[in-house]
Structure 1
Amino acid sequence: MHHVLCGLAANRSLPSELVDRLIEVADADIAVDLAQRADLSRAQAVALASRVEDSAVPLAYAGLLTSDDVDPATRPDVALALLAERAGRVEWTRAFAEDPVVERREKLAACPGLPPDVVRVLATDPDVRVVAELALRTSAETATGLAGHPDAEVRRAVAANEATPPAVLAALLTGEGLPPARLCPVCAREQIPFTHDPHCSRLDCDLPSGASCDGSHESSTHETQRMALGNPATPTEAAVGFADHPSVLLRWALSGRRDLPPEVCARLASDPNPGVRADLAENPAIDDAVVRVLAGDREHEVRRRLAHNPLVPLDVLTGLARATRIGATLLPRIARASSDEVEELAASPDPAARLLVAQRCDLSSVVREALAADCDAKVAKSVAPHPGLPEGMLRAMLERHGAQVAARVAANPDATPALLETLARQKPSVRKALRAIAAHRNASVPALLACLADAQARPAAARHAALPPSVAEELLTDADWRVVEAAAANPSLPRDVMSALIPRPRSRETA
């Protein structure tokens, strides 16, 4: 029964009065689906939050509860969720800023639009976690004031805040112009010098592996520099000096910056760490010379990431596609290719080039149909799901390539009921095709019945609106709970069946 009720909670055809009844008997699992209903009213949301306390926070984030529905004294978690969505009351912020529970003050510090007086209180909070959370998201003015905080963790958060002024970020990189930090997570709890054992067995220890402090707070300073290098607001001239830094993590953070000059890109292209080179490869800042160096990189991931660079030249890209596993995805450079470039790629004798352009869904009918008739199964498979292909062409594709393209043909939104029935009757059956058919809007009753014979396609077929109501009702007792939930979520279920599935609350039965 539990799975039936979860399915009903997600059934888009469940009448409002039955939603009310379901709320009255809901548990935490049922509430998850009820809270996601697009037609849930505010009154129903209030009733659900009252029935299942755990549902109140997601309902608040979804905008289904208001400040009139919440008492912050009894439901502080819900009130903080509303504040996070700018839907709470200003007076709540002042109360939470003085709350004895640190976690609540920390959540408040992450909320946008806090009043200036509340920001000032949080900026002087005795718990560094609260101040660090504020520093991560606060305004330029407050971030500037916190950049010289005595705790290095607060400075690290300021370095990650994109609102922090460039001059302050440059100072955080070098330490120049700022008073020395007096504390860090290591020396705040350990006798220095101390280096955290990577194999530490203490259950109450939350220090990062290898964290260390000899009085200079070196690991926290390193993290501050890493955050600043990854911050796009940090001045270029301050960042590029780290291109030859001995720390691979700092060079790695630098390699993704979009403002790198050519000479720095060239140095990073020969970095010994493949992660640095991979991030650089996807960076639009690299020029043609660096692109061609990286195209010959020995590491597969570097070449794969280069293929995702939106500015990679087409000749390099086709070479990468020929020798690198890129996957069936529309690459940024292909998405922005001109019509002339698209036609050139589609007419290429190289199947790797045709495969690249076959990922685009906005092809002209001439190009699309040419690719659909391609002799290479991978090319035809890639274009098979594109809307606009005539049924005859999809059938010809099946005749030519068979099971290799069946699932993608079944995924074509224009596939007709007759074509889907043909695919469903294929012997041997193509399981991926059956799953696509079971979820297809054009699937007919015969096709869906065939899909029910497959364990993986069965849940999707059980949910399909075209399935006869009598069949959906039979599936409510299926041995597979996934099928049961899907059948209960089927919008074709008759209203009287839905009503009979929802138990009456005990209070009513005994009244």
Structure 2
Amino acid sequence: MHHILCGLAANPALSSELVDRLITVADDDIATNLASRTDLSRAQAVALVERVGESAVQLAYEGRLTADDIDPSVWPDAALALLDQGVGRPEWARLLAADPVRERREKLAACRSLPSDVVDTLAADPDVRVVAELAWWTTPDVAERLAAHPQSEVRRAVAGNEATPPAVLAALVTGEGLPAARRCLVCDREEPPFVHDPQCLRLDCGLPPGASCDGSHESTVHDMLEAALRNPATPIEAVVGFVDHPSMMLRWALATRRDLPQQTCARLASDPTPGVRADLAENPAIDDALIRALAGDRDPDVRRRLAHHPRVPLDVLTHLTRTAKIGATLLPRIATSSPAEVEGLAKSPDPAVRMLVAQRRDLPPGIRDRLADDPDAKVVKALAPHPALTEAQLRAMVDRHGARVLAKVASNPDAPPTLLEDLVRHEPAVRKVFREVARHRGATAPALLVCLADERARPVAAGNPALPPPVIAELLADADWRVGEAAAANPSLPPAVISDLVCQQ
């Protein structure tokens, strides 16, 4: 019965009176669905929190509770949620900055626009994790101050904060102008030299796998450098020297930068690590010459990622369709192709190229109709979800290509109900069709009844409002609890049945 109540709590047809009734019996799961209701009143939200205190955070983020509804001494986590959204009260921040629960102080440290005295309190917190969290999100002036913190974990957080001044980020990378860090999480807990076993079985150990310190805090410093390299605010001059660094992770971080000089890009293009070259291949910073060079890379993932580059020349892209597994996706370069380029792609003798352009949903009618008649199933499969296709075109696709295009035709948002009824009865059957039709807005009762016979489509179909009300009621007792919960959430469930189920509680 519990899963039925969870479904009812999400049912948009549930009356306000029955919502009140469910609140009185709610547990954590039921409360989660009730808190997501768009029609929940403020009074009901307060009543729900009084019944299930854990729902306060969700209700605060959903906008159902205001500062007037929250007592931070009773619901501190809800107060934190409002502070996180910038609608809490300053005195709450002062109270929570002294909370004995470290996780709450840590959450507070991530909030923006805190009073300056609260920031000072958090910056001096005895737990370095709180100070580090503050460093990730704080303002430029506070970040500059924390960059000289004796704990290297705090400096790592400053290095990842995009509000940190560029000069400070450069200093963190070079070490110039900053006092040396004196501690890290490793040497705070273990006597150096120490290397944390990646397979550590200690349940009370919070050190990351492989963390190490020989007195130089090397693993935390490495993480700080990686954070600085990935930070777009770090001056490029401070990081280009890492192009030949022995750390693969630092070179990998460098490859994601959007402001790389071409000389640095060229060096990274010959990096021995495929992942470095793959990230570089998708980077808008590389020029046409490097794009063409990477098109011949020996690693298939590099070539696949290159196909996603926003400026890849079309002749390179058409070559990549023969050497890389691009998949059924609209590539950025295809999405921005000019009308003349679209025309040329649609006339390509290579079906893999025509399939790429068939992914667009803004094709001119003439090109769309020509691709709808394409002899290659891959092209038709890519085009089939296009909302402007007629019923005759969709049926012709099925007649020519059968099971290969069936699921994509069923996913077309404008597929008419009669076609959907025929698709679920197609022989041979395609199981994915049942799931597509089960969630389709145009599915009819006859089509959904067929979908109920499929194990994976059954829970989806049970929640479709087009299902006959008596059938929905029968599905409440289904052996699969997911089916019963979906049926209970179905707005077409008869009101009398909804009322009886709630009132039984």
Band of TM-score, shorter chain: over 0.9
| Structure-2 residue corresponding to 1:36 | 36
Partner of 1:509: none
Q: What amino acid does structure 2 have at the position aligned with 1:280?
A: L
2:242 corresponds in structure 1 to: 242
Q: Which residue of 2 aligns with 1:382?
A: 382
What is the aligned partner in structure 1 of residue 183 from structure 2? 183
Is 1:360 the counterpart of 2:360? The answer is: yes
**Quick check: 1:131–1:154 contact (8 Å CA) kept in 2?**
yes
Summarize deviations over 1:351-399 as a string: whole Å, max 9, x none. Answer: 1111111111111111111111111101101110110101111010000
8 A Cα contact 1:445 1:467, kept in partner = yes
d(CA) in 2 for partners of 1:477 and 1:209?
Answer: 48
Question: What is the correspondence of 1:193-342 to structure 2 with a 5 Å cutoff?
Answer: 193-342=193-342
Question: Aligned partners of 1:332 and 1:228: how far apart in 2?
Answer: 28
Aligned length: 505
What is aligned with 2:480?
480
State the Cα distance separating 1:192 from its structure 2 match.
1.5
Structure 1 residue 80 corresponds to structure 2 residue 49? no
CA deviation digits over 1:444-490, x for unaligned, max 9? 22112221222222222221111111111121112221211111111
Structure 1 residue 422 displacement after superposition? 1.1
The reply on whether 1:454 has 2:487 as its aligned counterpart is no
Q: Distance in 1 between matches of 2:22 and 2:316?
A: 59
Shift of 1:195: 2.1
- Give the match's secondary structure for 2:23: helix
Aligned equivalents of 1:196, 1:299: Cα separation in 2: 33
CA contact (8 A) 1:156 1:220 kept: yes
* Counterpart residue identity of residue 104, structure 1: R
User: Residue 343 of structure 2 aligns to a residue in which SS?
Assistant: helix
Inter-partner Cα distance in structure 1 for 2:190 and 2:434: 60
1:158 corresponding residue in structure 2: 158
Contact 1:438 1:460 survives alignment (8 Å): yes
2:300 and 2:323 in contact (8 A); partners too: no
Instruction: Report if aligned partners of 1:25, 1:503 keep a CA contact under 8 Å in 2.
Output: no
In 2, distance between residues paired with 1:32 and 1:270?
A: 51
Alpha-carbon deviations, 1:158-210, whole Å to 9, x = none?
Answer: 00000001100000001011001111111111111222233333322222222
Whether the 8 Å CA contact 1:35–1:55 is kept in 2: the answer is yes
Alignment deviations for residues 373-428 of structure 1 (CA, whole Å, 9 cap, x no partner): 11110110111011010111101000000011111111111111111111122123
Cα displacement string for residues 8-62 of structure 1 (whole angstroms, at most 9, x for unaligned residues): 1121122222111111222211112111112222221111111122211111111
1:445 maps onto 2:462 in alignment = no
Partner Cα separation in structure 2 for residue 283 and residue 334 of structure 1: 17
Query: Does residue 466 of the first structure (1) align with residue 478 of the second (2)?
Result: no
Which has the higher mean CA deviation after the structures are superposed, 288-297 or 221-230? 288-297
- The code of the aligned residue for 1:263 comes to Q
Q: Aligned in 2, Cα 1:331/1:74: closer, same or farther, shift over 3 Å?
A: same
Mean Cα displacement is larger for which, 440-449 or 157-166?
Answer: 440-449
Match in the other structure for 2:126 = 126
**TM-score normalized by structure 1?**
0.96
Aligned equivalents of 1:504 and 1:451: distance in 2? 31
Gaps in structure 2 of 5+ consecutive residues: none
Structure-2 change in CA distance of 1:488 and 1:197 (3 Å)? closer
Deviates more, 1:364-373 or 1:276-285: 364-373
For residue 126 of structure 1, what is the amino acid of its counterpart? P
Q: Secondary structure at the match of 1:88?
A: coil
Output the amino acid matched with 1:320. L
Partners of 1:59 and 1:146 lie apart in 2 by 34
Deviates more, 1:247-256 or 1:69-78: 69-78
Rounded to whole Å, the distance in 1 between the matches of 2:352 and 2:486 is 40
Change (3 A) 1:388 1:81: same
User: In structure 1, what is the Cα distance between the partners aligned to 2:477 and 2:202?
Assistant: 49
Q: Which region of structure 1 is more displaced relative to structure 2, 429-438 or 144-153? A: 429-438
Give the alignment's Cα RMSD to 1 decimal: 1.3
Amino acid at match of 1:363: L
Partner Cα separation in structure 1 for residue 330 and residue 423 of structure 2: 27
Aligned-partner Cα distance in 2 for 1:412–1:305: 28
- In structure 2, distance between residues paired with 1:183 and 1:177: 18
CA distance in 1, matches of 2:239, 2:327: 34
Q: In 2, distance between residues paired with 1:285 and 1:291?
A: 10
Q: Which amino acid aligns with 1:115?
A: P
2:421 aligned counterpart, secondary structure: helix
2:142 is aligned to: 142
Task: Output the CA distance in 1 between the equivalents of 2:309 and 2:230.
Answer: 19
Shift of 1:504: 4.9
AA in 2 matched with 1:195: V
Deviations 1:111-168 (A, max 9, x none): 1110111111211222211111111000001000111111101100000000001100
Which residue in 2 is equivalent to 1:6? 6
Q: Deviations over 1:69-111 (max 9, x none)?
A: 2211122112111111112111011111222332221111111
Whether the 8 Å CA contact 2:159–2:225 is kept in 1: the answer is: yes
Misfit runs of 4+, over 6 Å: none
| 2:395 corresponding residue in structure 1 | 395
8 Å contact kept, 2:352–2:378: no
Match of 2:95 in 1: 95
Same amino acid, percent of matched pairs: 68
Note the C-alpha offset of 1:240. 0.6
Is 1:24 the counterpart of 2:28 in the alignment?
Answer: no
**Aligned with 1:477: secondary structure?**
coil
Measure, in 1, the Cα distance between the counterparts of 2:107 and 2:466: 47
Which amino acid counterpart does residue 279 of structure 2 have in structure 1?
A: D
- Return the letter of the residue paired with 2:491: P
* Preserved contact between residue 21 and residue 504 of structure 1 (Cα < 8 Å): no
| Structure 2 residue matching 1:312: 3-state secondary structure | coil
* Structure 1 runs not aligned, ≥5 long: 506-511
Distance in 1 separating the partners of 2:210 and 2:431: 48
